Amino acid sequence: MSNRLKEIPHLPRKLPFLGHLPGMARDPFGFFDRAAGHGPLVRVRLGPKTACVVNDPALLRHMLVAGRGDFDKGGGVVEAFIKLWGGNGGLAACPNEAHRVARPLMQPAFHPSRIPGYNRQMVRNATEIVGRWRPGQAVDIDREMTRLTTKTLTNSLFTDPVSVRCVDQFQHDLPIISSGLLARTILPAYGRLPLPANRRYREAQARTRSAIDSMIRNRREDPGDYDDLFSLLLVRRPDGTVALSDEEVQGHIWSFMIGGIDTTAALLSWTLSLLVRHPHWYTRVEEEIDTVLDGAPPSHADLARLPQLQRVLTETLRLYPPGWVVSRVARARTALGGYRVPEGAELYFSIRTLLRDPAVYADPDRFDPDRWLEGNCTRAQRAAFLPFGAGARKCIGDVFALAEAASTLAVLLQRWRVQPVAGSRATLKVGVVLHPKGLRLRVIPRTSARALRPAAEDAPCERGQSAGTPHETGHGS
């Protein structure tokens, strides 16, 4: 390794013993924003640990894609996941070596040919859930969107009745687990404190572990004829032995429950919150849905014909990326952007900070979906747009999530006009996923809406089509 490598500069203002930990715990966004002002790579002290913050999209891409051999899963978030569900951490947290075996097993469930079928299920779920709302009701949006994404996860990926019950139960434990995870990420010792919040967290963890055990036991005993992700996890080799142990399957199921429910629910909630705050955009999206769909439920192919809705979703992901902090660990002494990175160094990056970088996104706090129009969108904007990560560990559910978000919003906005509730104010809840806490919106039936046409019966799969990925709408990673 070249000895002309530079030393990573230190972030100033660290306290004795605790370093930057109190600042990070008090204001995680402010901490990462401040680190970004000190160069592409900056060294921080988190209690006894020295870590690095990556602030440059090019370095980040290198770390996630080309330099993947040097940087593995690791760091606070990943350690908190592994402690939560045990084993080697499941798909979201396992080391690259285990990942190379596990991901190809699961990938067929996310093949583009599967998405139109999932989309029909998403439309059915959205129709059912928004169909229960009453005119004038003030809806707890985040709760309803979580209910919806839970239902979609089970209808699409874990389809047997025992799994449906278990995952459904999990949505009640999810907020406890999600907020406990962030505290454990920042301060691993937090989990050992004798606090009621920790007791609730451990109870939720135990309930979920035992629910997943019963899901696995049930499907091992009675595999049935299911064509879902779960059946891929339980696949047997030609000699009859299982490809993945029960402990590995447990980790993968946790990965999908943590990765697949909260994130898309947050995207949906933030999009609605932004639309009501920007009536001009609300009207544009509503008119587009009315014109393109003419009251019919959206097929997956239709979603690509809703470019304004797609731009709104992209801009929402930029402003409120649900999975906002990601970490890696250097396997060996290595280099990044001309800096020396010691073996074992933990590297953190805040996707949120990158997506609000004023050098890349003009007026970065402004909601401006038209910044993603072909003529307005710069290469730098595209390069920094990483809400789903990049490389081999990129989100496996990215297309699934975008289809769910777009089709749900189309169904919802066809039926209801959504309005703010006087006196109610949503606040940003910082967990491992960012949520608009307390977002309540009033729903008024659309009297002027074009007549809604009933959902069509299942049509054959539209093979090979996919819509709504940032890439396809011309502004993706």
Contacts with ligand HEM by CB under 6 A lie at 91-92, 99, 103, 255-256, 259-260, 263-264, 267, 321-323, 326, 387-389, 393, 395-397, 400-401
Q: Characterize the bridge pairing of strands 346-350 and 49-54.
A: parallel
Judged by CB, which is closer to ligand HEM: 82, or 267?
Answer: 267
User: How many residues can be counted in the chain?
Assistant: 477
CA atoms of 272 and 130, how far apart (whole Å):
14
Q: Which residues of 380-406 are buried (b: 16+ CB within 10 A; e: fewer)?
A: ebbebbbbbbbeebebbbbbbbbbbbb
In the complex, residue closest to ligand HEM by CB: 397
Hunting for tokens 């001309």 — which residue is that?
A: 338
Nearer of residues 215 and 396 to ligand HEM, judged by Cβ: 396
Are 290 and 450 spatial neighbours (Cβ–Cβ below 8 Å)?
Answer: yes
Least separation, in Å, of the C-beta of 192 and ligand HEM? 26
**Cα–chain-centroid distance for residue 352?**
12
**Shortest distance in whole angstroms from residue 326 CB to ligand HEM:** 4
Residue closer to ligand HEM (CB basis): 180 or 387: 387
In the complex, what is the shortest distance from the CB of residue 295 to ligand HEM, in angstroms, rounded to a whole number? Answer: 27
Distance in Å, CB of 54 to ligand HEM, minimum: 12
Q: How far apart are CA 26 and CA 290, in angstroms?
A: 45
Shortest Å distance, C-beta 273 to ligand HEM: 15
Q: What is the nearest approach in angstroms of ligand HEM to the Cβ of residue 70? A: 15
Q: Quote the least distance from Cβ 153 to ligand HEM, whole Å.
A: 6
Q: State the nearest-atom distance from the C-beta of 442 to ligand HEM, in Å.
A: 25
Q: Which helix (H) or strand (E) holds 199?
A: helix 196-221
- Report in angstroms how near the CB of residue 350 gets to ligand HEM at its nearest: 11
Least separation in angstroms between CB 450 and ligand HEM: 29
Q: Which is nearer to ligand HEM, 282 or 400 (CB)?
A: 400
**Phi/psi of residue 204, nearest 5 degrees:** -65, -40
* DSSP string for residues in 393-426: GS-TTHHHHHHHHHHHHHHHHHHEEEEEPTT---
* Closer to ligand HEM by Cβ: residue 23 or 330: 330
- Cα(first)–Cα(last) distance of the chain, in Å? 31
Beginning with the edge strand found earlier in the chain, give each strand of the sheet holding 71-73 in spatial order: 41-46, 49-54, 346-350, 325-330, 71-73
Q: 127 or 255: whose CB is closer to ligand HEM? A: 255
DSSP state of 296: S
Distances (CA, A) of 271 to 264, 280, 318, 397, 433: 11, 14, 11, 19, 15
Nearer to ligand HEM, 76 or 180 (CB): 76
Q: Which is nearer to ligand HEM, 23 or 260 (CB)?
A: 260
Nearer to ligand HEM, 19 or 324 (CB): 324
Tell me which residue of 304, 442, 346, 363 sits closest to 46, measured CA to CA.
346
Which of residues 89 and 180 has its CB atom nearest to ligand HEM in the complex? 89
Coil vs helix vs strand at 336: strand
Phi and psi for 380 in degrees, rounded to 5? -65, -40
